[in-house]
A and B are shown apart, each in its own frame.
Chain A
């Protein structure tokens, strides 16, 4: 079992915004009068990296994760004229990224009909991207969970979202978030038994 504290990602969950002396979502409020493109660009600067990393947790490889996030931002840009409040933009992006990742998985499931090439996952044996073996094994165990469990765990333990925020991003109830996480943790506890 590792006792090393996970590193703090300054791009997660609005932390980067707070570091700039603004409350969560303040970046958009500050730039309310700016053009939509500037608002989207600001969001990309603040949250782009964290969202790519989140997408990586869900799809496994970096190129696909970047594509998903790019398209989410393009979708946001197109939707900006209809966006009612600033703090919804991040929620929009999270939902778009999660849905984009789901689409990727569906495309891969249809690979028998039309093969889709994608890179090996960052935690696969053929990838040297992750150096620490115990983290690689943990991510492999997570990758064997069902889709919803993977989404809940990534949003909870990487993005540090609250259950309510996860519920909003995934379109499920808070109770489902909680029960899904509980079951997933129990499965992981069994799966990782003996590996530490």
Chain B
């Protein structure tokens, strides 16, 4: 992998991890489209590089939501020490995040590798990207129907119930499929639980933080694997680039979702997914 390729992949990871367009799908499709055949995605050095990118992205999310994370961790600690639940919104948000993280933690450990083995090539990734777009349109349509039929108003994050939080967590676990977006699926689930776009996006980004951080930290031993041969400068530059891209992405998206919805991303996924699927079926990208 050249320095340029590393930088492009890092920026791609930082942006696509938070935009609802699937980072896993893009890290399969973009190198295939650019015919970067020198990148071995299963090599120890590439996996070590991906670990650094995840850590950079997670760090950016923690920095962006630092005040909220501080309040949440403090409230959770207080709740554990006292041994009871209170009505504090930060504490409630913290427990909702814990509940929503369990499905992806369990399913990730059980299913990550079989799923990657089955679907980790361009054709399935393109197909799932297309499905990701359809999920976003379906989510938006259902949300509007719900709001119209039952005259329900949007609610803040801390008014979610624990089963609703679990539902959002299970939806997030769909992102184990390359092409299905973590933030997209969890946002759609949030919208179906009566969150508005702004709160659904915030909950999705808060929920992504422990998952991405754990994905990075649990793979740290790969950095020190004898076969890793990680180029230090390349890895550091990649981690910083991914972190900066993630920070600006989350800053942009939190503003964007104050007054916009998921449909533009849905169109993007449908168009790019369709094109890539046709190219993969014709053997243009492999």
Partners in one complex: no
